[in-house]
């Protein structure tokens, strides 16, 4: 005879599926951004072997699913909220520096102060978005 699934087991399964969707989103987004960065630094480095659009579609669809399935249920199994460590700030800072530097060298047209300002904006955006992702990701672990 088939066993019936209890309500708590069903809730845990739903929470598990939501966590998998979030992990797929974070992983595919990071993978796409790394490949995009490599493609910008050295053209056709990734494009000769892989079609990056597939990873972009995976990141977008998993992001949409992550937003649609996001709820406070994910925090039911978390006992402690984790805080960002110094390494996380250093990592976000280094990523911001890399992004700002690539932006500075990729934009060749325009005024020097405008290019520097755009690079600074890219640095700040990458820094803040990285901290946001790291903070949210640590709260799910």
Q: Can you give the pLDDT at residue 77?
A: 45
Give me 128's structure tokens. 């803040």
Q: Is 100 exposed, middle or buried (0-12, 13-18, 19+ CB in 10 A)?
A: buried
**Mean of pLDDT over the chain:** 78
Q: What is the pTM of this model?
A: 0.55
How far is Cα 61 from Cα 68, in angstroms, rounded to an integer?
11
The span from the CA of 34 to the CA of 61, in Å, is 18
Q: Tell me: the pLDDT tens digits for 71-96?
A: 554 454 444 456 667 888 888 898 88
Place of tokens 């998998």: 20
Q: Residues 91-128: pLDDT tens digits?
A: 889 888 888 888 787 776 777 888 888 888 888 888 88
Greatest CA span in the chain, whole angstroms?
A: 75
Average pLDDT over residues 124-140: 74
pLDDT at residue 136 in the model: 67
pLDDT of residue 80: 42
């Amino acid at each position: 005879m088939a066993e019936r699934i209890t309500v708590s087991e069903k809730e845990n399964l739903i929470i598990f599926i939501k966590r998998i969707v979030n992990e797929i989103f974070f992983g595919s987004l990071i993978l796409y951004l790394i490949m995009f960065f490599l493609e910008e630094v050295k053209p056709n480095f990734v494009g000769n072997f892989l079609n990056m659009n597939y990873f972009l579609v995976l990141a977008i669809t998993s992001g949409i699913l992550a937003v649609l399935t996001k709820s406070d249920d994910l925090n039911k199994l978390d006992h402690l909220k984790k805080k960002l460590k110094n390494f996380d700030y250093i990592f976000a800072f280094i990523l911001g520096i890399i992004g700002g530097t690539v932006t500075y060298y990729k934009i060749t047209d325009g005024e020097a102060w405008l290019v520097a300002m755009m690079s600074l904006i890219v640095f700040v955006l990458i820094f803040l978005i990285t901290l946001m992702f790291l903070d949210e990701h640590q709260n799910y672990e």
